[in-house]
Amino acid sequence: MTSHLAEEMTRPLRLPGSGDVGILAVHGFTGSPASMRPLAQALHTATGAPVRVPLLPGHGTDLDDMASSTWEQWCSAVDRTADELRSECSQIVLIGLSMGGALCLHTAANRSDTAHIGLINPAVYVDSPFAPFAGSLAGLIERVPGIENAINKPGQDELAYPQVPLRSVGELFRGVRNVRSLLWRVHAPITYFLSGSDDVVSPRSWNSVRRGVRGPMTTVPLPMSNHVATLDYDSGKIERTLTAAVRGLQGAADGA
């Protein structure tokens, strides 16, 4: 991939549309909108809904930016984008990959206009024994290896950082712990996409969400995919399932 194309793929995506339902798709930790673009564009084509894919602070630029960004800034970026969509439509479908899923749960716990949530291998736990100590160790260890491109399908690139500032791991650990405490406030229906092999997030995230939320949850298995399932073999199943969910909401809104 050329540097120009890579730069284009990591930019925020804004697709205009019409109707009462808007779509907000959020990328994962150290990743970029590149991981969500194909899904977002497919949903826009299929439904005509307005779509937003924000670039989270500290992502898609350099590791210094990443190291200085915070969980609160990531949450605020998602909330601002939801507010922007809300000015155009009355209902929002939140879709999040990995940390993006945790951010969507955080947003849904704090607003009532969420009509549906699509979670793609959401990270509500940081599955490393060192994560609780990341903040205190950041002064000794600046960076650790990244988690980029956990994808089974060859030739895919989510354009994530190859390394991770340890301070950022601490921010993620702190943030998802807060999300777990808010799950009881999430009442919107959830479609949970669960990969057959996941090198990043363990099944305890699925268990935590299933037990914690108050709304109905449907699990959709993705047997051929790894963590970044939006770019993997089962991406078509994600697109079809979420298209049906959005169209159902659109039909209900039109009939109201």
The residue annotated as part of the active site, out of 32, 35, 69, 98, is 98
Instruction: Give the 3-state DSSP-derived string for the chain, with helices as H, strands as E and coil as C.
Output: CCHHHHHHHCCCEEECCCCCEEEEEECCCCCCHHHCHHHHHHHHHHHCCCEEECCCCCCCCCHHHHHHCCHHHHHHHHHHHHHHHHCCCCEEEEEEECHHHHHHHHHHCCCCCEEEEEEECCCCCCCCCCHHHHHHHCCCCCEEECCCCCCCCCCCCCCCCCEEEHHHHHHHHHHHHHHHHHHHHCCCCEEEEEECCCCCCCCHHHHHHHHHCCCCEEEEEECCCCCCHHHCCCHHHHHHHHHHHHHHHHHHHHHC
Give me the catalytic one of 168, 205, 227, 234: 227
**98 catalytic, yes or no?**
yes
Say whether 227 is catalytic: yes
Is 83 catalytic? The answer is no
Catalytic (active-site) positions = 98, 198, 227
